[in-house]
Structure 1
Amino acid sequence: MTLTVCFDALGTCFTLEQVTDAVDETFGDRLRAVGFGSKGFVMDWFHSCQRDYTYLSLSSPPPPPIAKLLTTSLPIHLSTALNISPSSLPSLENITDRLSSLVPAPTLPETFSHLHKKRAKLIIVTNGSKSTTEGYASQAGIKGMVEKVLSCDDIGLAKPHKEVYEAALKAVGEVERGREGERWFVAAHLWDLAAAKKAGFKTALVINDIPATALHGQDQHLDAWYELYGGRPDLVGSSLLELAQGITEDQARRLASV
């Protein structure tokens, strides 16, 4: 039985840690003076751009590249946060340049190595550009283990449009080479997994900001949150490696029962 695992890129495989550091170096004191933390500011900016990328995909497809949304909107977000004119800001290149070299999420290399050793086929499905994502993968040392990078830029629609997941299934079929097997989708966003589940994927959610004891126990707030997105994913973990191990253990159990 073949195993293919699709991964979201932005916020799942690759983090904005260095971007946050750059914002903090230049604007940290000023942001804190008006009640913002640098991480909170970056997350708000990033999630706003993800939202607008999808909204533009709905209203006037194809949407512009998400990198353009990020770089164009940064002065506006800083202007709003600091209550100053965008034109009064210094150069932001020290921040925007880091968008092209996002760092790997914790355990990413070990995750891909584990799955690769188990002969899983690995695909990255991203709102970002193909070339930039391939660059991230190369810098993280995982590019040689990735069968394909599927970019929404090439599809002409943003996630969570169903066409993106249909394209992902087509890519999975190509790497399976006629041997249909287990198909997983891994992300740090429930909305992404809800769409992937609807398309037929098994789903795995990584959450590294909530204590592992809460993730693996009973928590009414988490349960209510999952329910909004169609129910708890098949796997939930606090690291990508934990999910990868859970995926291969699930496959081993299935093979043993055949």
Structure 2
Amino acid sequence: MANPRGVVVFDVVGTLVGFESWHLAIDKIIGTKLKTHGITAQMFGYTWMTHAELEYTFLCMSERYTPYRNVMKATFYRTLGMAGVANPRDAFTDDERDRCQAGYAALELRPGAKECIEILRAAGFDVWCLTTADLARVQGYFTRGGVDMPAESFVSCDQHGVAKPALAAYEPVFTKCKAIGEAWFAAGHMWDVAAAKKVGFKGAYCSVYEKEDCLEIHGGEMDVMAETLPQMARRIVEVAR
């Protein structure tokens, strides 16, 4: 885009991309086994993902950066054990783990994600992505969703070895954005938007994923608050005027 008025940087997984297809994949692969332990596919998927994110973040904090995909693979059996499966390696297999993790790489764009990006681009904004995921996987989400997202628009935490929400993960991107124009960070995770805002971004939050914003622990409202992705895009355009 020639001479954009600014940049809107998006978180990808959880924001523009949802988890519904992954939960369906888990249910298809190990759902019957999970149900014998009183565990739903959605609850297992959420617990596995968030436990992997916790380990990933702690590794980064202790200066032992490890790609998220490796952490996710390592935490599969532990998550099952924490969920109440007595002997998870006896009840589940490496093949099932790998197939479930492959389903995570096949996530789909949320309804309204394409429209959201189109609204921002039509208003003169460039759209970038900052993610903890590996770039090939994230680019695949957009390709399958029919959204053109040039390779140069992606920034992965793998490139700098620092994970969000460490402020150092946002700072290099913010510096590049400010050299262009207005710098916005948009996400469906309140912790993500709040951290980006602390380094100088204007913050846009969409409750499409979390539903509850928990503002009481994140320091008050962001510059934009919305329930849907297209609504968030329109409000960014309005505020930017």
Question: Does the pair score TM above 0.5?
Answer: yes
- Equivalent residue number for residue 235 of structure 1: 224
Structure-2 separation of matches of 1:234 and 1:185 = 10
Could you report, residue by residue, the CA deviation over 1:121-171 in whole angstroms, capped at 9, with x for unpaired residues?
Answer: 111000111222122222222234675111000011110111111021133
Partner of 1:67, secondary structure, is helix
Does 2:111 match 1:103?
no
Aligned residue identity for 2:202: K
1:23-34 alignment, distance < 5 Å:
23-34=26-37
Could you report, residue by residue, the CA deviation over 1:167-192 in whole angstroms, capped at 9, with x for unpaired residues?
Answer: 21133246x2xxx3x22111111111
- Equivalent residue number for residue 68 of structure 1: 70
Determine if contact 2:189/2:209 at 8 Å carries over to the other structure.
Answer: no
Structure-2 separation of matches of 1:192 and 1:6 = 11
Does 2:224 match 1:205?
no
Aligned residue identity for 1:246: R
- Equivalent residue number for residue 172 of structure 1: 177
Determine if contact 1:123/1:146 at 8 Å carries over to the other structure.
Answer: no
Structure-2 separation of matches of 1:232 and 1:171 = 25
Could you report, residue by residue, the CA deviation over 1:31-87 in whole angstroms, capped at 9, with x for unpaired residues?
Answer: 3343322112111111111121111001133x1110111122123322443222325
Does 2:40 match 1:48?
no
1:83-94 alignment, distance < 5 Å:
83-90=86-93, 91-92=95-96, 93-94=98-99
Determine if contact 1:206/1:240 at 8 Å carries over to the other structure.
Answer: yes
Structure 1: 5+ residue runs without aligned partners?
216-221, 253-258
Q: Tell me the percent identity.
A: 26
- Equivalent residue number for residue 37 of structure 1: 40
- Equivalent residue number for residue 134 of structure 2: 129
Higher fraction of helix: 1
Partner of 1:143, secondary structure, is coil
Aligned residue identity for 2:196: A
Does 2:9 match 1:6?
yes
After superposition, the CA RMSD in angstroms is: 2.1
Determine if contact 1:124/1:146 at 8 Å carries over to the other structure.
Answer: no
Determine if contact 1:2/1:120 at 8 Å carries over to the other structure.
Answer: yes
Does 2:127 match 1:118?
no
